Structure 1
Amino acid sequence: MRHAHRSPAALRRVLFTGASLAALLIAAHAQAADAPVTLPKIAVTGEAVSAETEGTGSYTSPAATLFGKLPVSVKEIPGSVSVITRQVMDDWNMVTLQDALSQATGVTAIPNDGTQAQYNSRSYGMNVMFNGIPSYNALSGSQQFDLSVYDRVEVLRGTAGMLTGTDPNPGGTVNLVTKRARKTFGASATASYGSWNNTRGVADVTGPLTADGSLRARAVVSSQHNNYFYDHASGDRKLAYGTLEYDVTPDTTLSVTAVVQRDRASPFYGIPVYSNLVIPNTPRSFNPVAPWAKNVTDTYEQDIGLEHRFDNGWVAKAQARWWERKFRFNDGYASSAINPATDTISYSKRDTTYNYVRQNLDVFLGGPFTLFGQTHNAVVGYNRERYLSNNAGGSSPVLTNIPLFGIENSRAWEEPVIPATSGGKSETFQEGGYAQLRLKVADPVTLVGGGRLAYFTTKSRNAPPSRPTNWTDGARRHGEFVPYGGVIVDATKEVALYASVAQIFIPQTTTDYTGKTLDPRYGTQYETGVKGSFLDGRLNASLAVFQIEDTNRAYADSAHPGYYLQLGEVRSRGVDAEVTGSPLPGVELTAGYSYLFNTYVKDATSQGVNFSNWFPKHSVKLLAMHRIQEGPLEGFNYGAGVTAVTRTGGNGSNASLVQDAYALVNAQVGYTFSENLSVSLTGNNLFDEKYFAALGRSSNTYNTYGTPRNVMLALTAKM
């Protein structure tokens, strides 16, 4: 059987795409006889910028790397971009990706089991890149590394298949960028203690290993143990991160990174509701998951990269990434809605292990060139990923008539020995050549164009202890071109207007009545907006209007039951607005507003109704910090945060499960004793708002209360 990752023809076509663009650029240089060709030593269009946020003390970043590999000014990206900086994460004691993305404009984080979440933007799930390398279906529903290893979290809202090719999620892309080793020594340690015995420690050390700093290292370790606000549940997470950078020459750097994280946690899936969709009146601490239930996760990652910086400002970089996760969940949970006549449920128990492996490669060449008196930029690259999954597990017979109230005294609480009775394997492979060209066609106008030629295949099989079967092909697509186009117009030195069109494709496996597999779904986004950078870049602002058209969706064929037509369509529209940075001396803030409306435009059963009620129509997010810089209170800092959302609820048969608008208020006070020592006290949900962080995803699980009022005291020492 032929597979895409073994197809030399496919690889040749991908590489030909990048080589063709490079040839066109060289030809353009050669033909520009009336304009001398020079390659100035700069890294991005205009003046060079850095995307790193550590040590800046800022809530904003002048640049991001997720849109084109090299740092690009946020104002010069024709799309909605947010950057959660290291300072934001430190100030507000953010330790998980859910903490960070919950504060990102237009992003909704919905908890799954207490250890990981679903991340959504513009009505859809989101994709992820690790240091610029796309990783298929690796964000939502997947436990992530502790935030202590990251310099920043970059968020691009909306469709951008040029970056990732295909993914089941057209809502946006998150780029997680790790900390780098430094040429100067630095060390910090933070110890914290909070509600529900939340005990945490982090140490971070970096510096040169040679006198000239050509060899440098960094190590981060963290340990956290905590209980939860719900009953008989605890978590324990330990992480170790190390990176080495070596300047082989002044212009060539070799980097090696390794991470290991061990998680031990009690899962929590929320509470079941009555079959008539009435929510039971339980305390927030009520937990129907068996007390012996556990999630055991070990994650390993190794990366190696080689970067060369040419004298003309161009950069060539190659990265290879190997990632493995061993995951076991052994649990007992409510597997039915509550019978309103008897207050009983059905109860299921299972024990399953998964082993996941990802192998990634990414290479690119990018930089500036001068043509017709203007400086332009180009990036050409290729990446690939092989994703393997193995699983084996089993379940006990379903228990019936279990009393929900008094469940601790029932058969549900008995821990069984569950042998593995079934198993499976799957493999996903994708590769693609990508290119982006930024043309400064006139002083105020920049055109951005690009695309990706993508190849995607999946296959699966039964494996022991199931009876083994042959591989079966799943979704696949060869030679799909994913385009991107945008224009940026500098209205003034501080303000730019932009418009863009972007696309992503999502392979389908359903067929029409002739047996033909449906063409991919296409998510096409149209966006226009305005961006501003003020006060010498200390304050950034943006406003965007967007529409996503999700077409070619499977549409039930009434003339041929069991088959489908590619006629379905969903539309998502909205507005995003954001302000980040320092409007006044000593003040840092990040503030965002999002409006969202979605509907089924064409659907066999739901035409004209909301596509999803999980996401609020209006949301407001604010974090602000004031550091007193003079006077008798010098050294003190205080801050406040607000997250407010409108009505949310369930979809389909769970549409009557709803909750009204709510607002959460956070606050912090701290004191800096010296440049080496500081303390802070943070309070979250100060008014103890009782709300659901997840509601209406099912009638038996995932109806999860949000975290009650809690506090955290942290002490940080630096050298």
Structure 2
Amino acid sequence: MNKSLYKGKVMAESLTFIQEPLAKAIKTILFLSIYTSPIITTVAFANIEAVLPTITTSASQENETSYSVKNSKSSSKLNLSLKETPQSITVITQQQIEDQNLKDIDAVLEQMPGVSKIQFGSKGIAYTTYYSRGFPINNYQRDGIPTSSASFGGSDYVGLEDTAIYERVEVIRGATGLTNGSGNPSASLNYVRKRPTYEKQGSINVQAGSWDNYRSQVDVSAPLNNSGSIRGRAIAAYEQGNTWQDRANYNHVLFYTALDFDLSERTQITTALNLVRKNANQLTVHGFPRLSSDKPAVPVHFGRKDNAAANWTYSDTDKLNLFAGIEHQFNSDWKAILNYSYTKVKTDRVYGVAGSSGIFYTSESTGVIWNDPITAYPGEMTVVGGRFKATPDVHSLDAYLNGQLHLFGKEHEIAVGFNGYQSEASDPNFYRFTIKTPINGWDGSTAMQPVFNITGNTKTNEKSLGIFASSKWQILDPLSVLIGGRVTRWERDTHTLTYATHKTVSVKQKENNQFTPYIGILFDINDQITAYTSYTSIFSPTSSRDKYDQYLNAQNGNSYELGLKGSFFDHSLNSSIALFKTKVDDYPMVDYKADGTTEKTSDGSNAYVGVNSVKMQGVELELSGELRPNWQINAGYTYTDTKAIDKKGVDLLTTLPEHTFKLFTSYKFAEKYMIGGGVNWQSKIFNATATPQVKAATMQDNYVLVNLMMRYEVDNKTSIGLNFNNLFDKTYFVNASGSSYGAPRNVTASLTYKF
């Protein structure tokens, strides 16, 4: 069977954007700043220092054993500490990744305060969306370079990135259109990769865990010449195993290499290559429903271990990522950075899900499902199958100038630049089919093997490019103002050819000169506590489609934030409390039916509806870093009050938790022992649009998961670890339709040797 994957896209609505008076004022100020920048830059570069220190990587400046970092450029391109950034920032560091054995980004985001997940299907192939502040996250960066979800293979693959190559993962909550181009009000994910080190180091890690899961990883870094001006790093990882669902299995392999070159004390070139292959078999999107399609409906007998996937399902992904960058330090104040990234992805996914379109214990049903006439008799259920192929090429570019200004006895900072990405793909569309099979004895076998005839082809070309300026002005010793803006050009061309009619439907979405303002004000109450407030507008094109395959309008609106930040023990411990409020029009929501299932697009993806006057407000509290020597913590609580009312007066955002709390802490004692533990708690979720019977059957009440870790250092090079996830084996669902379960209790043993 030829392997391919469908990504059909048809038609779209025009996009709109509203500029507020404040946005226009900020635009005027920025124009004047950029207009006068040549004069300022000339003055700044007039006294270039004769000697500069050797450039060092930012990773070497962070505490490698901490659960926090000191600085982040993700939100503005300015070199700001977390306390100096007027937005909420959460970081999962390499130390926490190792302590909790977070092997992929999905596991990282499950531990990330302020982030929730909705998943339809089995991990590795599921339709998965991550949310922050009530909105889906669709802004992504690699080393600060904006990119699209296509560079991961699609939005469902964002969480499948292996953490072996990443130093940390940052989440900047709130709208981040200043550096991303899309001012989505949820958050932006920044994947910060590992860099070569100036000192020789290496590690070998092997693991064995529940469901016959095995993993090995090697990480080696060293200078490649006597002076250390050339440095290299190589990482390889292999993993294979099964899941808690019967028959399911997976494997993946990764190879990463990076080279850094110091051309001089002022100029550094960075390069990296990443190759990934992932395979999953007998896993599928969606899952068994909680209720049958009988009249009256009855609970189905399938449980957590039962697998709705047909035995011919699979998901194969190959990915190549290339990175090259150059950084030049003009003097102690000014530097220029240029980074380029190229990603080629080939994703091939075949799914077949039993029961999602009907399970009939006692009733008979005749109908048409995906153009196939089906008559299901008592004791039968449907199996819906489909195939996708995605082969995007993604080019990303990020260039900016960053420097310090010394004016009026104060030190200020400015960043000016441009960035963007282009994604191109040409993929076949496939026929979807529906068959029926006996309920009893389901083992993934079907009487008919799938035949996925090609029905057409879809070509997509998406571009986003923008220029931006951001600045921090120290007005008074305790008072500073961050002001910035971005002008973005975005467009997407989609051409869908249907072979049966020989007709091509072309859709062009385009937005020119969309201005996104940003302003933040910070006031240092004392050396440890800073009060802040910030405002930005929202402009966020969407790839979500409705059940008629029409693209939804771009989101637009405004976002405000007010809070306090604390930094203690030389930035080793960071805390924050934030109040946020957002109003958005054309917010995309999953389109649920009354029976609790979801409407679908022509390719079988979840369909969405656009909702206006969506209001989000809430509070976030966070604490991360070192409480005392050898005691690390990362904890956060989020309350989100959402209002997304449809035409019937029903709140559509009950499918997201109103409250979440996440905590993990570890303590090292007697120099050789470490123990750690954590809890993840969320409030109930349910489908408010469902019938009372479906709502009761699919509601997920509030639940708590408990995790535990232990480590023993045999000597200064060798350690043995144990990680327990879902220690008390809580049964829970990961969506509001009750069709997909979360992972049961599992344990992993690991052995690490460092040299």
2:168 aligns with one of 152, 161, 170: 152
Q: Report the secondary structure of 1:652's partner residue.
A: coil
Q: CA deviation at 1:652?
A: 3.0
In the alignment, the residues of structure 2 paired with residue 643 and residue 508 of structure 1 have an alpha-carbon distance, to the nearest angstrom, of 30
Corresponding position: 1:645 with 2:682: yes
In the alignment, which of 535, 547, 570 is matched to residue 614 of structure 2?
570
* CA 425–650 in structure 1, closer or farther in 2 if over 3 Å, else same: same
Match of 1:403 in 2: 438
Q: Is 1:215 equivalent to 2:230 in the alignment?
A: yes
> 2:651 corresponds to which residue?
610
2:610 & 2:677 partners in 1: Cα distance? 49
Q: Which residue of 2 aligns with 1:255?
A: 270
3-state SS of paired residue (1:418): coil
| TM-score, normalised by the number of residues in structure 1 | 0.87
Q: Give the CA deviation at 1:72.
A: 1.7
* CA drift at 1:29: 7.9
Residues in 2 aligned to 1:671 and 1:41: alpha-carbon distance in whole angstroms: 50
Q: Which of these residues, 110, 124, 134, is aligned with residue 118 of structure 2?
A: 110
Distance change >3 Å, CA 309–CA 420, structure 1 → 2: same
Q: Report how far residue 42 of structure 1 moved.
A: 14
CA change 1:509–1:690 in 2 (3 A) is closer
Question: How far has the Cα of 1:30 moved from its partner?
Answer: 8.7
Contact 1:189 1:203 in 2 (8 A): yes
Q: Distance in 2 between matches of 1:713 and 1:42?
A: 50
Asked if 1 retains the 8 angstrom alpha-carbon contact of 2:497 and 2:505, the reply is no
Alignment correspondent of 1:60: 68
Which has the larger displacement, 296-305 or 545-554?
A: 545-554
| Structure 1 residue 119 corresponds to structure 2 residue 127 | no
One-letter amino acid of the counterpart of residue 527, structure 1: E
Partner of 2:468: 434
| CA deviation after TM superposition for structure 1 residue 290, in Å | 0.6
Retained in 2: the 8 A contact 1:42–1:368? no
CA distance in 2, matches of 1:605, 1:501: 32
Checking the alignment, whether the CA contact within 8 Å between 2:523 and 2:530 is kept in structure 1 is yes
What SS is found at the alignment partner of 2:430? strand
Go from structure 1 to structure 2 and tell me whether the alpha carbon gap of 1:403 and 1:195 turns closer, same or farther (over 3 Å shift). same
More divergent stretch after superposition (219-228 vs 641-650): 641-650
**1:518 positional shift:** 9.9
Query: What secondary structure does 2:628 align onto?
Result: coil
**Residues of 2 paired with 1:327 and 1:250: CA distance?**
42
Mean Cα deviation higher: 351-360 or 51-60: 51-60
Match of 1:675 among 701, 716, 719: 716
What is residue 10 of structure 2 aligned with on the other side? none
Report the TM-score, using the length of structure 2 for normalisation: 0.83
| Structure-1 separation of matches of 2:165 and 2:29 | 35
- C-alpha distance in structure 2 between counterparts of 1:372 and 1:478, whole Å: 38
Percentage identity across paired residues of the two chains = 29
Aligned AA (1:83):
V
Deviations 1:586-617 (A, max 9, x none): 2111111011110126x5333xx433122211
Query: Unpaired runs of 5+ in structure 2?
Result: 1-27, 363-377, 545-550, 590-608
2:537 corresponding residue in structure 1? 503
Alpha carbons of 1:376 and 1:611: their partners in 2 closer, same or farther (altered >3 Å)? farther
* Distance change >3 Å, CA 403–CA 717, structure 1 → 2: same
Deviation at 1:271, TM superposition (A): 2.1
CA shift for structure 1 position 53? 7.6
Deviation track 1:474-506 (CA, whole Å, cap 9, x = no partner) reads 321001101111101000100000000122213
CA–CA distance in 2 between the matches of 1:229 and 1:348?
23
Q: Tell me the distance in 1 between the aligned counterparts of 2:588 and 2:735.
A: 27
TM-aligned CA deviation for residue 26 of structure 1 = 4.5
Q: Aligned partners of 2:747, 2:444: CA distance in 1, in Å?
A: 33
Counterparts in 2 of 1:518 and 1:672: CA distance versus 1, 3 Å: closer
- What does residue 3 of structure 1 align with? none
> How much is the aligned-residue C-alpha RMSD, in angstroms?
3.1
Determine the C-alpha separation between the residues in 1 that align with 2:705 and 2:542.
Answer: 40
1:420 to 2:437 alignment: no
Change (3 A) 1:295 1:509: closer
2:626 aligned partner, one-letter code: S
Q: Which moved more, 1:471-480 or 1:651-660?
A: 651-660
Question: Aligned partner of 1:398: which letter?
Answer: T
Moved more, 471-480 or 57-66: 471-480
Map 1:535-684 to 2 at 5 A. Answer: 535-551=569-585, 568-600=612-644, 603-606=646-649, 609-628=650-669, 630=670, 634-650=671-687, 652-653=689-690, 656=695, 657-684=698-725
Cα distance per residue 1:333-385 (max 9 Å; x no partner):
13414346446432222233221110111111011111111111111111121
Q: Residue 190 of structure 2 aligns to which amino acid in structure 1?
A: N
1:694 maps to amino acid:
N
SS at match of 1:141: helix
Task: Give, in whole Å, the separation in 2 of the partners of 1:661 and 1:567.
Answer: 26
Deviation at 1:164, TM superposition (A): 1.6
Residue 400 of structure 2 corresponds to 364
Which residue matches 1:712?
A: 748
**1:218–1:554: structure 2 CA closer, same or farther, 3 Å change rule?**
closer
Asked if structure 2 preserves the Cα contact closer than 8 Å seen for 1:64 and 1:83, the reply is: no
- Relative distance call for 1:445 and 1:404 in structure 2 (3 A) is farther
Paired AA for residue 397 in structure 1: F
Question: How many residues end up aligned between the 2 structures?
Answer: 668
SS for the counterpart of 1:604 is coil
Equivalent of residue 290 in structure 1, options 310, 313, 321: 310
1:288 aligned counterpart, secondary structure: coil
CA distance 1:466–1:459, shift in 2 (3 Å): farther
Q: Distance in 1 between matches of 2:634 and 2:50?
A: 33
Q: SS where residue 694 of structure 1 aligns?
A: coil
Aligned ranges for residues 1-20 of structure 1 at < 5 Å?
A: none
Please tell me whether the aligned partners of residues 304 and 319 of structure 1 are also in contact (alpha carbons under 8 angstroms): yes
5+ residue gaps, structure 1, are: 1-15, 511-516, 556-564, 697-701
Q: Distance in 1 between matches of 2:679 and 2:513?
A: 46
